Structure 1
Amino acid sequence: MDDAVRVLQSVRRIEQCVELYSKRLSQLHHITTPQLVALMTIAKIGPCSMSAIGKAIFVSPSTVVGIVDRLEEKGLVLRMRDTQDRRHVRVSLTSKGEQLLDQSPSALPEGFSLALQALTNDERQSLVISLEQFAQLLEAKVPN
């Protein structure tokens, strides 16, 4: 089988696993994986702009708006306008958002986390490097 086909099949398997886990998170905890990752990002970097969230989790500005809208509807984040420049909006966690993070499961399936921990440090590093290289290949621009 062609390597490109094998790569695409693997990517599709990964997409399916992520999608199924996100649906499970939504059913059990009323939050999707992208929403949970956005919450984790805000907790890590503190009150931040929408563009900072998008850059940190690799999603488009319109996707960030949708994620933050839903998080705000759930009372998990708060949008605050900059007092100096009202065009700038900062997003911060509410106490309810902090509480959800304290009680929430991993953003990745538990089986994945356990399997990842079972790898040696060298194997984990190799996997990370390979995935980063893969992402760079996908982002590569075709020369004119």
Structure 2
Amino acid sequence: MNKITDKRKDCFYMIKQLHDNIEKNANNLLKKYDLTMMQLGALMRLNKDGGGECTLKEFEKLLHLAQSTTAGIVKRLEQKKFVECFGDSLDKRIKKVRITAEGIKLCSIAAVDMEHAAKKYTKGISKEELNTFVNVIIKLCENADS
């Protein structure tokens, strides 16, 4: 195997290691809110990208998750009073999910915690390096989706 192939393998291994480390640290930080990184991520996507309310089907697409996984996340967030579920007024077959005031408040608090965590991970990295990294990650994600 040549050095370029070895570096690619190492790169994807390092991305996995970084993800695992970020998830572990985030989950430890989120214990005080009785949340996981996945639940908070879903809540923040609903708040920001979902406009605070959307159908369960739209939420699945927003999260890029299966229906069963999304339903489980929504159920746990609903039990914790961060979201509420209800039927569409015109079509009761359509289930909708809406972030609550408590969920919005949590997103604001968590955003501050996430900013502190991001500073830890980007310490010693210039703005140019970070921009390059972000652009490469975007391309990797686009390639993964194609």
TM-score of the aligned structures, taking structure 2 as reference length: 0.78
- Give the Cα separation in 2 of the matches to 1:69 and 1:90: 12
Runs of 5+ consecutive residues of structure 2 not aligned to the other structure: none
Paired letter, 1:81: G
Does the 8 A contact of 1:68 with 1:77 survive in 2? Answer: yes
- Give the Cα separation in 2 of the matches to 1:22 and 1:62: 24
Matches within 5 A, 1:1-144: 2-44=6-48, 45-106=51-112, 108=114, 110-116=116-122, 119-140=125-146
Of 30-39 and 117-126, more deviation after overlay is shown by: 117-126
- Give the Cα separation in 2 of the matches to 1:80 and 1:66: 16
TM-score of the aligned structures, taking structure 1 as reference length: 0.79
Does the 8 A contact of 1:79 with 1:90 survive in 2? Answer: yes
CA 47–118 in structure 1, closer or farther in 2 if over 3 Å, else same: farther
Deviation, 1:39, is 1.2
- CA RMSD between the two structures: 2.5
- Give the Cα separation in 2 of the matches to 1:6 and 1:135: 18
Does the 8 A contact of 1:25 with 1:31 survive in 2? Answer: no
* Matched length: 140
Q: Matched residues, percent identical?
A: 23
- Give the Cα separation in 1 of the matches to 2:60 and 2:124: 31
Deviation, 1:8, is 2.9
- Give the Cα separation in 2 of the matches to 1:117 and 1:43: 28
